[in-house]
Structure 1
Amino acid sequence: MFTKQLKKEVEPIIESIYNDPFIQGIIHGNLKKEAVKHYLKADSLYLNEFAKIYSLLIPKLDDRKGIQFLLGQIDFVMNGEVDAHYTLADYAGIDYKAVIEEGEWYPSSDHYIKHMYYNACRYSDASFTICAMAPCPYVYQQLALKIAERNDLEGNPLKPWVDFYCTNMDELIGHLDRWVDEFSETASDEELNILRKNFVESCIHEKRFFNMSYNIETWEGY
């Protein structure tokens, strides 16, 4: 399967993210509070746009089940994934609603979301955009599974964050994989290369997003 090849290729990137300071802070329960705040300010805006990009894919689909699935994902992104955000906010001792009102686009998050929007606007088939979006849930799932497998999280205040991504991504990832694999069966070599490029680049964007949060990246630093 094409998506299996993609996942094998990006495994070193995910392992690298695992060893980066943001995820290590989650593992040890000592993530910097300012890094959490920076992450939430960026990710709240990112998730809003992520949901909007799902809506852009609906006109590209003909099947009712696919449309229903996307509508369900829009609801999950807007209402379900905030549970993980609340875990981080509680850990940092900050008011989540107040923080997201101060949401900002920093260089790395800005670049990432524009990467997705470009594909949504450039290509008629949803698979190109999906390959740019799929690494978001996939990377989080794989990081959470690695954390849970390799570490004793008993007493870790960030354990609910890990548990959330261990258990809530399977259906979404499976659906996205089937979408891309089906398209890849008749795709040209040029199209396959674009799909691959989108997936790999988004995994790199995920790494940069976490580092952006930990390093308190702003536009003033450039």
Structure 2
Amino acid sequence: MSPPLFDRLRDAAAYDWRAYTEHRFVRELAAGTLLEACFRHYLKQDYLFLIHFARAYALAVYKGDDLDDMRGAAAALHGILNVEMKLHVEFCAGWGLSEAQMAAEPEARATMAYTRFVLERGMAGDVLDLQVALAPCVIGYGEIAKALAADPRTRRAGNPYEPWIAMYAGAEYQQVAEGAKGQIARLGARRLTEARWPKLVETFAQACRLEAGFWQMGIDQSL
């Protein structure tokens, strides 16, 4: 029995996956040493990021072949609009950021780069291309937080970023991530061919690189 499609993609793009999931931003979150100004900048951009990702899942509903595809994408869209966005806004309030402030923030180049890449893959390709482009974000955040939560080196006491780790490692978000894994597996069972595999790996790897760029944008506090 072959590994799940997400696992195969992650292993095929291992270098870019590690550069994303083990980025300095992530390491400093775990250590509690990330500058607060960097984290606030990241939080504001992540709000804008989620809006575009909701649009991408709306596109996935349109691109679905059947009701199962459409329901899977609709469930993910619901997860972003009504679970992740809610969690994000509530979390940001604890950092002194209102939703109105975040909505008024200009988009950083790194935000535009990844979100437009995902939408382009969805428009030019099919629903599998789109879901693969989304996976490093939707599934990746769950994987990163789960690994940090399980790592004894992660600082707990006095770490201002421990609530962020707990939010994405929590059951509510983990359910969203597992649902995305299942949707990719179902799509792959119908649509994946040997000829398509290299392009899907490149899409996944490029998405990982763009995610790493998003972390770097937070560190650099750049637009």
Which TM-score applies when normalising by structure 2? 0.84
State the SS of the aligned residue for 1:134: helix
Deviations 1:143-176 (A, max 9, x none): 1122112224244332222122223234323223
Deviation by residue 1:178-200 (Cα, 9 ceiling, x = unmatched) = 13431454x241x2221111111
Residue 45 (structure 1) aligned with residue 52 (structure 2)? no
Q: Which runs of 5+ in 2 are unaligned?
A: none
Q: How far apart are residue 116 of structure 1 and its match?
A: 0.8
1:204 deviates by: 1.0
Could you tell me how far apart the structure 2 residues matched to 1:149 and 1:12 are? Answer: 22
For 1:97, which of 96, 99, 107 is the aligned residue?
99
Normalised to the residue count of structure 1, the TM-score between the two structures is 0.84
Aligned positions of 1:1-222 closer than 5 A: 1=3, 2-82=5-85, 83-90=87-94, 93-123=95-125, 125-150=126-151, 151-166=154-169, 167=171, 168-169=173-174, 170-185=177-192, 187-189=193-195, 191-218=196-223
Give the partner amino acid of 2:216.
N
Whether the aligned pair in 2 keeps the contact of 1:35 and 1:214 (CA below 8 Å) is yes
Change (3 A) 1:201 1:103: same
- The alignment of Structure 1 onto Structure 2 pairs a total of residues equal to 213
**Cα deviation per residue 1:79-103 (whole Å; 9 max; x = unaligned)?**
211314533552xx32232431332
Runs of 4 or more above 4 Å deviation = none
| Percent identical residues | 21
Select between 107-116 and 5-14 the one with higher mean Cα deviation: 5-14
Which consecutive residues of structure 1, in runs of 5 or more, have no partner in the other structure?
Answer: none
Higher mean alpha-carbon deviation, 195-204 vs 81-90, is at: 81-90
Do the aligned partners of 1:37 and 1:99 also contact (CA within 8 Å) in 2?
no
Task: Tell me, yes or no, if the aligned pair for 1:89 and 1:96 is still in contact at 8 Å.
Answer: yes
- Is the CA contact 1:42–1:106 (under 8 Å) kept in the aligned structure 2? yes
Preserved contact between residue 142 and residue 168 of structure 2 (Cα < 8 Å): yes
In the alignment, the residues of structure 1 paired with residue 58 and residue 206 of structure 2 have an alpha-carbon distance, to the nearest angstrom, of: 22
Given that residues 111 and 214 in structure 2 are in contact (C-alpha distance below 8 angstroms), is that contact kept between their aligned partners in structure 1? yes
Aligned residues: CA RMSD: 2.2
